[in-house]
Amino acid sequence: MSGSLASCSSVPETIVRQERGQREVFCGLTGIVWLHRKIQDAFFLVVGSRTCAHLIQSAAGVMIFAEPRFATAIIDERDLAGLADLDDELDRVVTRLIERRPDIRMLFLVGSCPSEVIKLDLSRAAQRLSKRMMPSVRVLSYSGSGIETTFTQGEDACLAALVADAPRASDQEPETLLVVGALADAVEDQFRRMFEQMGIKRLAFLPARHAAAMPAIGPNVKFLLAQPFLGDTAKALEAAGARHLPAAFPLGAEGTQLWMAAAAKAFGIRDNIFEETIANARRRAEASLQRYRSKLEGKSIFFFPDSQLEVPLARFLSRELGMVPVEIGTPYLHRRHLADELSLLPAGVSIVEGQDVERQLDRCREAAPDLSVCGLGLANPLEAEGFATKWSIELVFTPIQGFEQAGDLAELFARPLARRELLEV
Ligand code: SF4
């Protein structure tokens, strides 16, 4: 088992360049689209403008639920005197909402960009409302503002708020494995089954599916990050005494094995038990990847910075499918959390942290990659110029982690290339 923990010293082989300029990313409000499905009794109340309401509606698609679990409290422009009434107005909106929706157990007040909202102290409002509504409803707050966040950081801010609110566990409690990051329920169930089968019985997921099931945090907790964009959440967990288990991320057969191996090692699971537990699933994953290798091998790929999944994806695509990363753009590079991933990238690959969109587009045009992974705003112009693209947001909405999903993940990259081939015929 090579759950080897690469140190940062292996990173210099790759070239990391910083770039600062105009960015093309969605804001952290986008995370509500998958978080509201994950925490089944939570409600997300965006405190924002009409733009925020519009973004949430379009990102979520046409909402056909009778009772959606997110909404926007629209704050219009107002003067200072008007600002004083905002707290009362917010209290009224929240009270009405909770009266109408007794199924809500956790309410997130989600901050946004408009200056009126920035002036509002949402964390104080959350404390005030929580005091009034406990024990039936907990009220938390975080910011999804585009000034501070890219689209996956909304989840980071939400989970960090959950950690700050979580009960504290003492060091006398038995050791618990905590998997951190919103995963599709089916993926979570697969991981739970395998961890339990190898003998890790005390296991929790953050976020939990229900408000009342959020895990206690303390020195007894060892945590695995399931997503690479959870820097603030990890910091909050470590501040509460929990220990991070460094690992590659569970994308592809290799990544999933390394990720699970880090937990197995930390919980003293014997190598043969670990191997036995994962053997069949790993074999199935490799077989499913084999089907896509011939379609993807040797194809070049260019990542625009968007989801922060870019580095683990490039590792997966290059090592398991033979693709050639030309440039790996990422909004932020958490060197410690990505150390194992960076050490597995092809030597000398170019990594760009941050973005200057015009310069990056120029480099993309010059490289003329077979496939570009980018946000929605860049996909259409690039397609119009004849480039095949993959929307990075799809990689967050689709279940892609774990052995059973490895083939589906490969398919996401094969599909745009197949479509382009058809169009060219
Ligand atoms: S939070 Fe900011 S960036 Fe996001 S939709 Fe609202 S105004 Fe736009």
Cα of 305 to ligand 1 centre, how many Å?
19
pLDDT digit string, tens, across residues 383-405: 999 999 999 989 998 999 999 99
Residue 94 has which token pair? 């929240």
Structural domain count of the chain? 3
Find out whether the beta carbon of 48 lies less than 6 Å from any atom of ligand 1. yes
Instruction: Give the mutation target among 51, 56, 72 for probing the ligand 1 site: most ligand atoms within 8 A of CB.
Output: 51
> 300 forms bridges with which residues in the sheet?
324
Global pTM? 0.92
CATH number of the domain within which 230 lies: 3.40.50.1980
Find out whether the beta carbon of 318 lies less than 6 Å from any atom of ligand 1. no
* One domain, residues 248 and 131: no
Q: Which atom of ligand 1 is nearest to the CA of 144?
A: 1
**CB-count burial class (<10 Å; 0-12, 13-18, 19+) for 131:** exposed
- pLDDT-derived band at 65 (thresholds 50, 70, 90) equals low
Interior angle at CA 274, CA 189 and CA 343, nearest 5: 90
Report the pLDDT value the prediction gives residue 8, as an integer from 0 to 100: 40
Q: Average pLDDT, stretch 249-257?
A: 98
Handedness of CA 47, 49, 53, 55 (dihedral sign): negative
Cα of 194 to ligand 1 centre, how many Å?
40
Residue 286 C-beta-side C-alpha neighbours within 13 Å: 8
Contact assessment for residue 176 and residue 220, using Cβ atoms and an 8 Å cutoff: yes
* One domain, residues 127 and 180: no
Find out whether the beta carbon of 206 lies less than 6 Å from any atom of ligand 1. no
| Rounded distance between C-alpha atoms, residue 16 and residue 339, angstroms | 13
Cα of 109 to ligand 1 centre, how many Å?
14
* One domain, residues 39 and 143: yes
Indicate if the pLDDT at residue 63 is higher than 70: no
- Cis ω for the linkage preceding 135 (within 30 of 0): yes
Task: Please tell me whether residue 19 adopts helix, strand or coil conformation.
Answer: strand
Find out whether the beta carbon of 27 lies less than 6 Å from any atom of ligand 1. yes
Give the chain's radius of gyration (CA, Å).
Answer: 22
Cα of 192 to ligand 1 centre, how many Å?
36
Handedness of CA 110, 307, 14, 355 (dihedral sign): negative
Report the pLDDT value the prediction gives residue 222, as an integer from 0 to 100: 98
Residue nearest to atom 2 of ligand 1 (CA): 113
* One domain, residues 16 and 35: no
* One domain, residues 313 and 401: yes
Indicate if the pLDDT at residue 22 is higher than 60: yes
**Going by C-beta distance under 8 Å and a sequence separation of 6 or more, which residues neighbour residue 205?**
178, 179, 180, 183, 188, 192, 215
Residue with tokens 């088992």: 1
For residues 180-190, b (16+ Cβ closer than 10 Å) or e, as one string?
bbbbbeebbeb
Report the pLDDT value the prediction gives residue 419, as an integer from 0 to 100: 80
* One domain, residues 332 and 416: yes
**Which structural domain range is residue 122 located in?**
28-149
Residue 364 lies in a domain: yes
Residue 2 lies in a domain: no
Q: Which atom of ligand 1 is nearest to the CA of 54?
A: 5
| Rounded distance between C-alpha atoms, residue 339 and residue 249, angstroms | 11
Cα of 51 to ligand 1 centre, how many Å?
6
Handedness of CA 275, 289, 322, 337 (dihedral sign): negative
Find out whether the beta carbon of 56 lies less than 6 Å from any atom of ligand 1. no
Cα–Cα distances in angstroms (integers) from residue 116 to residues 86, 92, 369, in the given order: 9, 18, 43
- Chosen domain end from 273, 308, 335: 273
The identity of residue 282, as a single letter, is R
Residue 38 has which token pair? 């994950």
Residue with tokens 């990422």: 330
Closest CA to 326 of 366, 356, 378: 366
Strand (E) or helix (H) holding 308 = none
Indicate if the pLDDT at residue 263 is higher than 50: yes
